[in-house]
């Protein structure tokens, strides 16, 4: 976002090693003047009230049990006319998942909510939902494109598989199967 739009970006992660890696990669691409990262919790963001024009969260909520507090914190750090964009996985038809999946190795750390529950929590945190998109089909198509590319050329040197580690293929398989069977959906909301 900083490279494309020239905006100032701040990132937060609970894991110090992820923050260190993000900071190092940011330096390598020459964006340290526009991007910074902090160790912190999404439930207690290390920023003052009304600091940001926009907030973006991608594939985070599935690991957060206290979703109302998570949304309230994002609302707190946004200016009154601020915008929030989120992509997360939501519970589909309520059938059980096969673990591990990309966001959780075991059920105890997976906190999926239905799309309706998610929308209600966002609205309870004083967000007005402008767009609500089920992006599951697009996510499946992208996963298939990546699979085909990996078969012909092998996996890329860098990618999410490097971060996830040896269980990457099993996690992807389980998540894709769950999407196909309607047990999960990929939602985009703004």
Question: Among candidates 134, 163, 159, 129, which has minimal Cα distance to 147?
Answer: 159
Distance CA 22, CA 38 (A): 10
Give the per-residue pLDDT at 189.
67
Q: Which H or E run contains 31? A: none
DSSP SS3 for 102: coil
Condensed to tens digits (0 to 9), the pLDDT of residues 166-177 reads 888 899 899 989
DSSP secondary structure of 126-146: T-----EEE-HHHHHHHHHHH
The domain limits of the chain are 41-189
Q: What is the dihedral of CA 68, 17, 171, 157, to 10 degrees?
A: 130
Give the per-residue pLDDT at 172.
87
Count of all residues that appear for the chain in the document: 190
Give exposure, 123-160, as e/b (b: 16+ Cβ within 10 Å).
eebebeeeeeeeebeebeeeeeebeeeeeeeeeeeeee
* Tokens describing residue 100: 């591990």
Whether 162 shows a pLDDT value over 80: the answer reads: no
| pTM, two decimal places | 0.87
Distance CA 32, CA 25 (A): 9
Condensed to tens digits (0 to 9), the pLDDT of residues 43-85 reads 999 999 999 999 999 999 999 999 999 999 999 999 999 999 9
For residue 97, what are the contacts with CB-CB under 8 A and spacing of at least 6? 107, 110, 112, 174, 178, 183, 184
Chain centre distance of CA 50: 22
DSSP SS3 for 123: helix
The least confident of 15-19, 122-126, 160-164 is 160-164
The least confident of 23-27, 61-65, 135-139 is 135-139
The structural architecture, per CATH, of the domain 41-189 is: 3-Layer(aba) Sandwich (3.40)
* Tokens describing residue 35: 């991007």
CB 186 within 8 A of CB 118: no
With cut-offs at 50, 70 and 90, classify the pLDDT of residue 165. Answer: confident
């Amino acid at each position: 976002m900083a490279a494309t739009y020239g905006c100032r970006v701040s990132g937060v992660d609970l894991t110090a090693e992820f923050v260190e890696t993000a900071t190092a990669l940011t330096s390598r691409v020459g964006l340290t003047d526009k991007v910074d990262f902090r160790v912190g919790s999404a439930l207690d963001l290390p920023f003052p009230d009304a600091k940001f024009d926009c907030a973006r969260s991608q594939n985070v909520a599935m690991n957060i049990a206290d979703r109302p507090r998570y949304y309230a914190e994002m609302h707190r750090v946004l200016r009154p006319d601020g915008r929030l964009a989120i992509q997360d996985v939501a519970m589909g038809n309520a059938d059980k998942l096969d673990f591990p999946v990309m966001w959780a190795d075991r059920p105890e750390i997976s906190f999926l909510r239905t799309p309706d529950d998610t929308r209600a929590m966002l609205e309870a945190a004083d967000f007005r939902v402008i767009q609500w998109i089920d992006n599951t089909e697009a996510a499946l198509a992208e996963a298939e494109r990546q699979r085909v590319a990996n078969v012909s050329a092998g996996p890329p040197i860098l990618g999410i598989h490097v971060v996830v580690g040896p269980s990457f293929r099993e996690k992807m398989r389980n998540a894709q199967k769950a999407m196909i069977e309607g047990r999960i959906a990929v939602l985009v909301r703004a």
